[in-house]
C-alpha cells in the first residue's frame, strides 16, 4: 500500500467517523442510532476480499473504540471477524450484482450487532444484552443496507487497485 492509498483509506475512515459522530448520533429511530462504522469492514471485504476486510475491520474498529464507552478493542475484534467473513462469504459470488452490497450490509450488520452485544456481555458488560439487541440490530441493518452502495463505492475508491485474494481483478474492479 502506497502513501497515497493509505491517505485515501484514512480519509474515508475519518469521513465515516465524522458522519457517525455528528449526523448519525442525532438520528434516533426508536431510541437507536445508525452505526455506519459497521459498513467499513463489510465494504472492504466486498471490494478487497477477506484479508482487506479484516484489516479494515481492525483499523476502523480501533478508531471507533476511541470514541465509544464500551470495552476497548471490542469493535476492532468484531470488525475483523465481520470484514473477513463478508469477504470470504462473497468470494464466489458475482460482485457486480446490485443486491450484493445491500444484502451483505443487512446480514453483516445484524451479525455485527448481535456478536457485539454477546461478546460485550461476556466481557463484563451484561447490560449490553438488555438494551433490545434485536431492535438495535434490525434498525442498524436497515440503515446500513440503504447506505451500503455509496459506502462500497467510497471504500472501493480508497483501497489500492490490486488483484484481491481469491477472485480475479476484473470481478473485483466491478465494485469500484
Partner 1 sequence: MAKLRRSRRPRTTLLILLLASITIITLDARGGFGRITSGVRSVAADTFAPIRSGVNDIIEPMGSFLAGSVHYGAVRQQNQKLQQQIRQLQQQRAQSVQTEQSLQQLSAVLHLPYVGNLQTVPAEVIDYKSSNFAATIDISVGRDDGVQYNMPVVAAGGLVGRVVQANHHTATVRLISDGASLVDVLYGTPGAYAAVTGEGSGKPLSADLIPINTPLTVGELFVTSGLNGAIFPPNIPVARVTSSKTGVSATEESVTLQPLADLTNLRYVSVVLWDPASP
Contacts with partner 1, residue ranges (CB under 8 A): 17-18, 21-23, 25, 31-33, 35, 49-51, 54-55, 57-58, 61-62, 66-74, 76-77, 80-81, 84, 87-88, 113, 116-117, 120, 123-128, 130-132, 136, 140, 165-166
> At its nearest, how many Å lie between partner 1 and the CB of residue 53?
8
Which CB, 53 or 101, lies closer to partner 1?
Answer: 53
Which CB, 98 or 134, lies closer to partner 1?
Answer: 134
CB 38 within 8 A of CB 24: no
Nearest alpha carbon to residue 165 among 44, 60, 72, 75: 44
> At its nearest, how many Å lie between partner 1 and the CB of residue 98?
26
> At its nearest, how many Å lie between partner 1 and the CB of residue 69?
5
* Residue 29 φ/ψ, nearest 5 degrees: -120, 110
> At its nearest, how many Å lie between partner 1 and the CB of residue 66?
4
> At its nearest, how many Å lie between partner 1 and the CB of residue 46?
14
CB 74 within 8 A of CB 112: no
Which CB, 11 or 18, lies closer to partner 1?
Answer: 18
Nearest alpha carbon to residue 76 among 37, 43, 132: 37
Which CB, 8 or 52, lies closer to partner 1?
Answer: 52
Which CB, 14 or 99, lies closer to partner 1?
Answer: 14
Burial state string for 59-83 with b = 16 or more CB within 10 A and e = fewer than 16: bbbbbbbeeeebbeebbbbbbbbbb
> At its nearest, how many Å lie between partner 1 and the CB of residue 52?
8
Sequence-separated (6 or more) residues with CB below 8 Å from residue 107:
141
C-alpha cell at 17: 467517523
User: What DSSP line would sit under 6-32, residue for residue?
Assistant: HHHHHHHHHHHHHHIIIIIHH--BTTB
C-alpha cell at 114: 448481535
Which CB, 73 or 150, lies closer to partner 1?
Answer: 73
Amino acid at each position: 500500500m502506497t502513501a497515497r492509498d493509505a491517505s485515501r483509506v484514512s480519509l474515508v475512515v475519518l469521513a465515516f467517523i465524522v458522519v457517525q459522530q455528528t449526523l448519525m448520533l442525532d438520528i434516533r429511530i426508536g431510541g437507536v442510532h445508525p452505526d455506519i462504522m459497521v459498513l467499513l469492514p463489510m465494504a472492504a471485504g466486498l471490494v478487497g476480499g477477506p484479508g482487506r476486510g479484516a484489516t479494515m475491520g481492525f483499523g476502523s474498529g480501533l478508531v471507533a473504540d476511541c470514541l465509544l464507552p464500551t470495552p476497548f478493542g471490542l469493535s476492532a475484534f468484531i470488525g475483523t471477524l465481520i470484514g473477513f467473513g463478508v469477504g470470504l462469504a462473497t468470494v464466489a459470488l458475482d460482485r457486480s450484482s446490485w443486491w450484493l452490497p445491500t444484502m451483505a450490509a443487512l446480514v453483516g450488520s445484524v451479525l455485527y450487532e448481535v456478536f457485539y452485544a454477546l461478546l460485550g456481555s461476556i466481557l463484563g458488560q451484561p447490560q449490553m444484552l438488555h438494551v433490545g439487541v434485536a431492535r438495535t440490530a434490525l434498525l442498524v441493518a436497515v440503515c446500513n443496507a440503504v447506505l451500503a452502495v455509496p459506502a462500497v463505492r467510497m471504500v472501493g475508491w480508497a483501497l489500492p487497485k490490486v488483484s484481491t485474494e481469491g477472485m480475479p481483478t476484473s470481478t473485483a474492479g466491478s465494485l469500484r
